[in-house]
Structure 1
């Protein structure tokens, strides 16, 4: 094994101390030679599970990565964390475990890596919440870290078949609302996923993989990649070398995760029309890395000056395979470079500008240049106003066939099921604004999903004639209709949304980026505050803990972290003060 020439490692406790001798006993029993005990010790964070296809190949990556790391002169230790899947582990309590699982991943990593005082970590990232969890943990622990985006699944659509998993999900949701035929759904589902990896579309998982590369904690050319494809295995090998270099050069995450690299990631998401969920995840990553940046405002400001350079499903016709083959994130960054902070450092020691110079140029079809974009209207729009002083978010296709401005009377619902029933009963009609409230990070708790309601509007042909405003969230797949989510402050935190009544006029202006409640402020102030329903099913465990600890979306819904950063105090939240 080659000698390691880096600095003294924190994992090397005094060899005859009580803990030092106990560690030796454990590690010698695992077959580690005596002469290797002082080498750097690296955590392989394997966020793996048998529950979903997203993770089915990660266990096969671990032995290859271990071999690469050993040959480079470090000692790898595999650790594991929770591994949530939006399509599988969202069945319980209306999907409210999904967002809290992100922070469980961060805490899992801290307990294992910091508890053992390991020297570095390399994270196998897969489904939606794993990549933000890994990036947040990197910022929190600030030890040399590399994130490996482990690729997307081979889908039925890529084989010329009728559906991928997202399409099956949409069809099933619509059939549940309309009572339409379901005979073909099982056959479509059997052909939808043809291999391991994350969902094939440019939803949250692939968006977060692109962010890992854009921020600089993943190697160049690693996102998106086919799971188990040649590019994935190449990035695995290069990631091992990058981690050892980061150890030798003492390149740490907080030198990489900066206000500049966060802004670069915002630009990248706007340029590819990424998932709206990346906003809260980027804010959480910034908070954990001690970076003071208002990600919501960055999306709001940069959205007006960042053109759309790729149009990938669900935003457009291109498959993710075509996007990867056209150069993926690396090529997008090359074309975006005039708008980026090119001096930002990456884990390999080069800058974003140096990486961009080595990437292939745009093909003009799947990925376009700044001079010939698919569109200039923002695909992700952050709105502010009297109904959302802390911000809210909408996603639209480019070009956008629907209305950019919508004004109508509120119809207030306490959950998505009530709102769906409101369509069938006739309570919700064309021209109305459906308000689903009390399902934010505190109110749900854990943040309720409203995608099923949006699909119900589509099924009834109401997606352009009924708007949605909610403090809950919706899938990264959703980009049709006037749908505004993640309203902040949420109703349960005292936000204006909690005081909306039926027939209150609401104005949504996507062009101006405003969301306003057209009610006299004095009248609004006199209304009783919002009271969460007493019959919420929280289970008395994790979700109750989450409700007590979670901070507002304005600080990424982190758990009581970095209160001194000025962005993360539930009491006296800047968003509340602005209102």
Structure 2
């Protein structure tokens, strides 16, 4: 590895100054007890921390930050930790997705405005990963990601449980199979350690995403949060970011189109969340990489499912790690992957994982004998979604992949909650549930409500799945035959906004089709009488978001944030 000259370090524009400006930049920093030689040309490494007690998944990040610092000091760097907005998926209202872009702005400006030569992103809960990566992309300095890791597997009445079981518990409680007391007991048994969801939900999908993109060290995705090896990886990442600064290994040198295609294929192999699509698309557009919704179908929908994890399978992230973790999947997938693009340690993804070993084939299968022949996400189109909608086929019911049914329409999530368990609701298991106005602009923020729970009277028949369509998202921990991210969204006056109860809808996943059987003339008539529902937001960030958010098929970023802007700071305050 080569060493930069002091003048090449970005931080020298602050700490290398002479006179009044240099005095001010260094003097106030010294009130924290830093000796003068820390300012004499060492690479300054920012540790971007999303620790927050309001983000339970990330509540251990202070410990990981200390491990990163040890690695930075050891490698000759100068670590400085800073906070950014933290998005707790389980707490924040109305949805963490509304604030993903705001948090990315916080990250981008915090990096650009400060004397940082490289940055370590401490991510965990669902939106903290894409928001931090998006913000860092826009500045494009050497960056490495350390995920917080999944929590340990829960246990309830002698059985393993995880976040996916929330949906099962809710259904069983609704139908009287479990009592209030049992539900409370399960609540205390599920989240039994620090860390994010213990299944292949969105948080684990995002941790797998950054590893498959090459933004983390090998093994990042699956080490449990409570395992000491998570701290070891953090320490090693602290060392590595200093080397990345010395080699000027910026994000733009790692995040090529081929890296994004690698990530799409690996996401399919692990049965990752549909939220992967909207976040990866936003990251690609920040990097000005050519990526389209059809790439997820073309490169991901024919990849076999290799990982037997909830919600698509039976096991948990802890089991995944003990079986060998993502390195084993990457090794299995090597013939499908580009072996030229480099990762955070300078090697290719294939080179990094060529010696990975699998210790449990019930958790990680081979390409020759996968758990499912096809996985990933399928993109469908039709008059209901001319710009596309997505379905996670590995978590859907095969018998519903081709289906025609009568629409039962809910004019928003409040309407759904008010009527779903009404005994008078005219619905049976052959119907197709349609939920409007939960897209990026319509809610706003595109909440995880697309996997609408079934009516009580349907559950009581023993039916576990129905076709569901919306312009919203669903939790990565959820399952079911749900068509999501329908674009353009209903709030824009699309055909989805014009669906009425009783209309017939055709579903044909094999032929990538989602069609409303209503004539163009009738749709035109309905459009003339349509008005968008009123919004109550008229100020601040939410108003800005509604005005500028792009549609789901483009990643739902703010239009003025697309593209890199660089790390230059033109003006000084002194």
- Normalising by structure 2, report the TM-score: 0.90
* 1:19-34 alignment, distance < 5 Å: 19-34=21-36
* 1:299-448 alignment, distance < 5 Å: 299-361=296-358, 363-397=360-394, 400-420=397-417, 421-424=419-422, 425-448=424-447
Q: Would the aligned equivalents of 2:97 and 2:447 in 1 still touch at CA under 8 Å?
A: no
Which structure 2 segments of 5+ residues have no match?
565-574
* 1:62-141 alignment, distance < 5 Å: 62-89=65-92, 92=93, 96-141=94-139
Does residue 48 (structure 1) correspond to residue 51 (structure 2)? The answer is yes
Aligned to 1:489: 488
Distance 1:46 1:169, change over 3 A: farther
Q: How far 1:266 sits from its partner (Å)? A: 0.7
- CA–CA separation in structure 2 for the residues paired with 1:36 and 1:563: 36
Distance 1:173 1:483, change over 3 A: same
- CA–CA separation in structure 2 for the residues paired with 1:518 and 1:9: 62
Q: Find the residue that maps to 2:556 and give its secondary structure.
A: coil
Aligned to 1:514: 513
Q: How far 1:412 sits from its partner (Å)? A: 2.0
Q: Find the residue that maps to 2:315 and give its secondary structure.
A: coil
Q: How far 1:367 sits from its partner (Å)? A: 1.0
Distance 1:18 1:71, change over 3 A: same
Deviation string 1:440-477 (CA, Å, 9 cap, x unpaired) is: 00111111332573255774457567421111111112
Aligned to 1:550: 549
Does residue 262 (structure 1) correspond to residue 264 (structure 2)? The answer is no
Distance 1:138 1:177, change over 3 A: farther
Q: Would the aligned equivalents of 2:52 and 2:58 in 1 still touch at CA under 8 Å?
A: yes
Q: Would the aligned equivalents of 2:429 and 2:463 in 1 still touch at CA under 8 Å?
A: no
- CA–CA separation in structure 2 for the residues paired with 1:471 and 1:442: 10
Q: How far 1:409 sits from its partner (Å)? A: 2.2
Q: Would the aligned equivalents of 2:156 and 2:190 in 1 still touch at CA under 8 Å?
A: no
Aligned to 2:225: 227
Q: How far 1:479 sits from its partner (Å)? A: 2.0
* Structure number with higher relative contact order (C-alpha < 8 Å, ≥ 6 residues apart): 2
Q: Would the aligned equivalents of 1:385 and 1:516 in 2 still touch at CA under 8 Å?
A: yes
Aligned to 1:571: none
Aligned length: 555
Q: How far 1:150 sits from its partner (Å)? A: 1.6
The farther-off stretch of 108-117 and 125-134 is 108-117
- CA–CA separation in structure 1 for the residues paired with 2:89 and 2:69: 29
- CA–CA separation in structure 2 for the residues paired with 1:305 and 1:465: 24
- Normalising by structure 1, report the TM-score: 0.90
- CA–CA separation in structure 2 for the residues paired with 1:69 and 1:12: 18
Aligned to 2:147: 149
Q: Find the residue that maps to 2:447 and give its secondary structure.
A: coil
* 1:238-257 alignment, distance < 5 Å: 238-257=236-255
- CA–CA separation in structure 2 for the residues paired with 1:130 and 1:17: 39
Aligned-CA RMSD value = 2.5
The farther-off stretch of 517-526 and 123-132 is 517-526
Q: Would the aligned equivalents of 1:139 and 1:253 in 2 still touch at CA under 8 Å?
A: yes
Q: How far 1:494 sits from its partner (Å)? A: 3.3
Q: Find the residue that maps to 1:488 and give its secondary structure.
A: coil
- CA–CA separation in structure 1 for the residues paired with 2:68 and 2:374: 42
Aligned to 1:197: 195
Q: Find the residue that maps to 1:123 and give its secondary structure.
A: strand
Deviation string 1:51-87 (CA, Å, 9 cap, x unpaired) is: 2431121111222222221221111111112222222
